[in-house]
Amino acid sequence: MLIDVDRIPEEGLKISKDFEFFSVDIVEESTVFLKPVHVEATVKKIGEELLIKGQITAMLNFMCCRCLTPFEFPVDSKFDLVCLPEELEVAKEHLEQDDMNGLFYCKRQVDLKEVIMEQLNLTFPLRPLCSKGCQGICPVCGKLIKEGKCSCTAKESGQRLENLKIFLRDKS
């Protein structure tokens, strides 16, 4: 969604929109979007500066990096950004120094979808976990380890595959 910088009304531009993203757009490629990403935002222009403010709500499905169980990950995140014309090199340096949430637009246009995608990526965990205390999967029996214990009795590694099959069957 391209926003024409010169066509933003004085009172600001109000946006209420669903965006369709795909897993390839984001950092975590195993992630699934369970519904469209909803954005409520206002874009205001003050001089050459654009102030983009709003809220992203989304529902995603991540895969736990320890136990490989998919889990739902709701996003409800506010953002508040300043967007400057790319030509303003001076402003760029200034922004970097202040470590602000700075963005740049070029050719008098802002791609809001790109802005949203970037904000969305910032809300994602580096190592997605289904729960804080997730113990992952037992390397012997392939079952989820709960409360730090494993109920596995199989000592032979040949048993491992069989148990993994049971684990998968029980899950489905």
- Point out which residues bind Zn ion (CB under 5 A): 64, 66-67, 130, 134, 138, 140-141, 150, 152
SS3 state of residue 97? helix
Can you name the residues that pair with 13 across neighbouring β-strands?
43
The residue among 13 and 152 lying less far from Zn ion, judged by its C-beta, is 152
> Please, what is the minimum distance in Å from the beta carbon of residue 122 to Zn ion?
23
> Please, what is the minimum distance in Å from the beta carbon of residue 160 to Zn ion?
9
> Please, what is the minimum distance in Å from the beta carbon of residue 111 to Zn ion?
35
The residue among 51 and 140 lying less far from Zn ion, judged by its C-beta, is 140
SS3 content of the chain, % helix, strand, coil (to 5): 25, 40, 40
Q: Who contacts 159 (Cβ-Cβ below 8 Å, separation ≥6)?
A: 141
The residue among 13 and 164 lying less far from Zn ion, judged by its C-beta, is 164
HSE of 81, CA atoms in CB hemisphere, 13 A: 22
